[in-house]
Each structure stands twice: as structure tokens, then as C-alpha cells.
């Protein structure tokens, strides 16, 4: 395993001592409080989990602008995306106060963290536009990440935090939600040193499965970390519990025992393409992984990014030595009718489009909703069954 980003040891901000945590939660009830955005609550969970090591809290406006512009804080720490607590109205709090941050995603808005307020800065319209453009490479309000980033306000409330809850993630996904330090511990127990991570917000079809296997074999890795996003997604994406069931079934049936860890993390998807790919690398380094698979349109949405922009950013914009984790660059993978196996398209220049089993997401969803399993070359039948049950349910029909 490799060392965390920016420090020799992981610095999770969650209070692990149960008695101390209970006392701090009790004390938080008497503090001035604000209900934060879902993104800020997810940032608190990531800070508490150690994924955002070595950060100690939310960035101020100056650091946010610097990170957006140059991918580094004012003090020079490499970081790809601002980690912020932004409010529409900060009139109820003051610099120097300790405040309670209330969770918007839990019934009753319990406290997720406390914060020492060291700064309250209002961003100008031009500053918001600059950050939006740098982070998302677009200002289109139809982009889900752009819409979310610009909907929470302009007051950047900065300062160190103490995390008192993992929000709904620990309760809703007890078998899957894991912190960076828990993943490090598990990999250490398994004796893994070289580990390749696979990021997903979707169920995994045959091409994804084989891509993990290719990376594992090519790198001669000790294990694979399948790491799924458990937070807020855009409308139409498959819920985390369904994805979890699909991935666990695939791993159970088609991978050797003790070669794969199926885990998840509590974060809201940014859909920021290249910048989010770099963020994914940062927090996979904090889990101890040595490699991250970055494939076609990694963390993208729609047609906002080029197919391999998430790979080229590591060559063109990430300074050499900024990260210890390495990138496993993958091409589009699909079933070859000629070779009767999944291949990377770049490896078979003699193939035409008709030589592959290619199905659009729209086509697959329509098939599943009608109770028709996709071809076995595209999706494992056991996984397709779980997805068919979902798409034929009321929740699936309304997604």
C-alpha cells in the first residue's frame, strides 16, 4: 500500500470514541446551527472518513479559487476540486463561532459535524462562473454538477470541522460503506500491497467485470477494490442498494475468493469528468490503492467531455509527483464476436463496429423494463435478473 496524500499517516476527522462523540453531539445542541447542503454534508462524511486527507475542514474562498484555477491551495497542496460549505444565507453565524452543521439528508436534521468558523466570504458572480468553468468545463445549467454547485449559495463558510456522523451511509449500507482507514485495515489483513481500484456509480456489466480482471492481471495486483458511490445521483441513475446487490452477485459468482473488496463511499456525484477523475485518484490513494482504472468518459455525463479527457488530464495538468497513485488507462471494452471474449477496442484494430456486442444504456433499460435479459455477452444473467426486478418495480418504472 502507498502512503496517504499529503501526509505520512491518515487523518480522519471522525470522533471514533463513542462516549466522546455522544458528549459532543449533546453539546452541539446548544450551538448556533445551519442546515447544510447535501454536498457539504457529503464533504463532511468524506473528511470524517479520511478520503479527503490531509484537509482539516472546509476551504475558504481564496483556496477554492486557487484550487479551481490551478489545482492547488494557496499554501501549495495539490487538490483538484474545492471542498466547501456554501450557504445561501450566513447572517445567523459569525467568524469565531463554533457552529453545528445539520444533515439535510436525515429525518430531523441531526448534527453531522461541528465547525470552527474562521471565515465567511461571499463569492462574486464572476468568481462563481470562473470556478464553475474550471471545475466542470462548462457553465451549462443543464449539467447536473453545474446546477448543484450553483444552487447552494455564494457564502463560503470556512474552518476546521469535527465529524460526528456518517449521515445515512453507515445505517443504509452497513455491509458496504467503508472509510478509507477501514479499507486500509482490511487490505492489510489480506496482505495486499499492489491494489487496483475501480470506481463505479452503475451496476457492472461484462465489460466492466473484464476490465477489472485485465487490470488485475496486467499489473500483477494482489487485489481489486470495487468502490461504489453511495450518495446523491442524477434522476434516472440506478439506486445504490440495487447496484450493490448486482455487484456483490457478480463478485460472488465470477471472481476467486479474497481477490475483490466490494465497498462504497459517502459522496454526491459531481459529474465533473476530468477533475472528478483526479479527485477519485486522491481518495483512492488515501485508501492505500496503488492504481486507479480510468476508462472512457470517466465521471462524465452527456457530451460535455471528450472520451479520454479524464486520462489526458493526468498527463497535461497534474504535476509530476503530485500523486503517488498510478493510473491504469483503459479503452472502451466490449464483447468481440470474432474472439468470443471481452476485449479493449484499441487492441483489435481489425474489428469493425459490427464485430462487437454494443448496446446503448437506453436500449438496455428498455429491455430490462420489458423483462428481457440482455445478451449473456453483455450482462451476467444473475445480474440481469436483479435489474429486471428493479425496472419492473414501481420505483424502477418511475425512475
Q: What residues act catalytically?
A: 201-202
The DSSP-derived string for 97-143 is -EEEEEPTTSTT--EEEEEE--EEEEPPHHHHHHHHHHHHS---TTS
E strand segments, the chain? 33-35, 57-58, 86-87, 98-102, 111-116, 119-122, 155-163, 195-200, 223-229, 260-265, 291-294, 326-329, 333-336, 341-344, 356-357
Take residue 244 and report the three cell numbers written for it: 450493490
Residue 121 cell numbers, joined: 466570504
Burial class (CB in 10 A: 0-12, 13-18, 19+), 316: exposed
Rg (CA), the chain: 21
Dump the DSSP string for 43-105: HHHHHHHTTTTT--EE--HHHHHHHHHHSB-TT--B-SS----EES--TT--TT-EEEEEPTT
Q: What are phi and psi of 28, to 5 degrees?
A: -65, -25
Q: CA-CA distance, 257 to 93, in Å (whole number)?
A: 52
Amino acid at each position: 500500500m502507498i502512503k496517504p496524500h499529503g501526509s505520512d499517516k491518515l487523518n480522519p476527522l471522525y470522533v471514533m470514541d463513542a462516549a466522546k462523540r455522544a458528549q459532543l453531539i449533546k453539546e452541539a445542541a446548544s450551538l448556533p446551527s445551519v442546515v447544510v447542503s447535501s454536498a457539504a454534508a457529503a464533504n463532511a462524511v468524506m473528511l470524517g472518513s479520511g478520503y479527503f486527507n490531509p484537509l482539516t475542514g472546509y476551504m475558504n474562498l481564496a483556496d477554492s479559487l486557487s484550487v479551481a484555477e490551478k489545482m492547488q491551495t494557496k499554501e501549495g497542496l495539490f487538490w483538484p476540486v474545492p471542498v466547501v460549505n456554501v450557504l445561501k444565507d450566513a447572517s445567523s453565524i459569525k467568524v469565531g463561532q463554533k457552529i453545528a452543521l445539520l444533515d439535510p439528508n436525515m429525518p430531523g436534521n441531526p448534527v453531522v459535524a461541528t465547525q470552527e468558523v474562521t471565515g465567511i466570504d461571499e463569492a462574486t458572480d464572476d468568481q462563481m462562473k470562473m470556478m464553475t468553468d474550471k471545475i466542470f468545463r462548462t457553465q451549462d445549467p443543464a449539467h447536473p454538477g453545474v446546477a448543484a454547485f450553483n444552487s447552494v449559495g455564494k457564502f463560503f463558510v470556512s474552518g476546521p470541522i469535527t465529524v460526528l456522523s456518517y449521515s445515512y451511509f453507515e445505517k443504509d449500507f452497513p455491509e458496504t460503506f467503508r472509510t478509507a482507514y477501514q479499507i486500509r485495515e482490511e487490505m492489510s489483513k489480506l496482505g495486499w500491497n499492489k491494489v487496483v481500484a475501480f470506481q463505479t456509480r452503475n451496476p457492472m456489466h461484462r465489460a466492466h467485470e473484464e476490465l477489472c480482471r485485465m487490470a488485475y492481471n496486467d499489473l500483477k495486483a494482489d487485489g481489486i477494490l470495487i468502490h461504489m458511490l453511495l450518495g446523491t445521483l442524477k434522476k434516472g441513475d440506478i439506486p445504490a442498494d440495487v447496484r450493490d446487490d448486482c455487484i456483490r452477485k457478480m463478485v460472488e459468482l465470477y471472481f476467486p475468493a479474497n481477490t475483490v473488496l466490494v465497498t462504497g463511499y459517502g459522496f454526491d456525484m459531481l459529474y465533473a469528468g476530468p477533475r472528478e477523475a483526479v479527485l477519485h485518484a486522491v481518495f483512492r490513494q488515501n485508501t492505500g490503492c496503488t492504481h486507479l482504472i480510468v476508462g472512457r468518459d470517466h465521471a462524465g455525463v452527456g457530451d460535455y467531455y471528450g472520451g479520454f479527457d479524464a486520462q489526458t488530464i493526468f498527463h497535461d495538468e497534474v504535476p509530476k509527483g503530485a500523486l503517488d497513485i498510478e493510473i491504469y488507462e483503459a479503452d472502451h471494452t466490449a464483447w468481440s464476436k470474432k474472439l468470443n471474449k471481452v476485449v479493449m477496442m484499441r487492441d483489435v484494430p481489425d474489428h469493425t463496429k459490427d464485430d462487437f456486442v454494443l448496446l446503448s444504456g437506453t436500449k438496455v433499460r428498455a429491455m430490462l423494463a420489458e423483462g428481457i435479459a440482455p445478451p449473456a455477452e453483455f450482462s451476467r444473467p444473475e445480474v440481469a435478473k436483479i435489474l429486471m426486478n428493479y425496472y419492473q418495480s414501481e420505483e424502477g418504472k418511475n425512475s
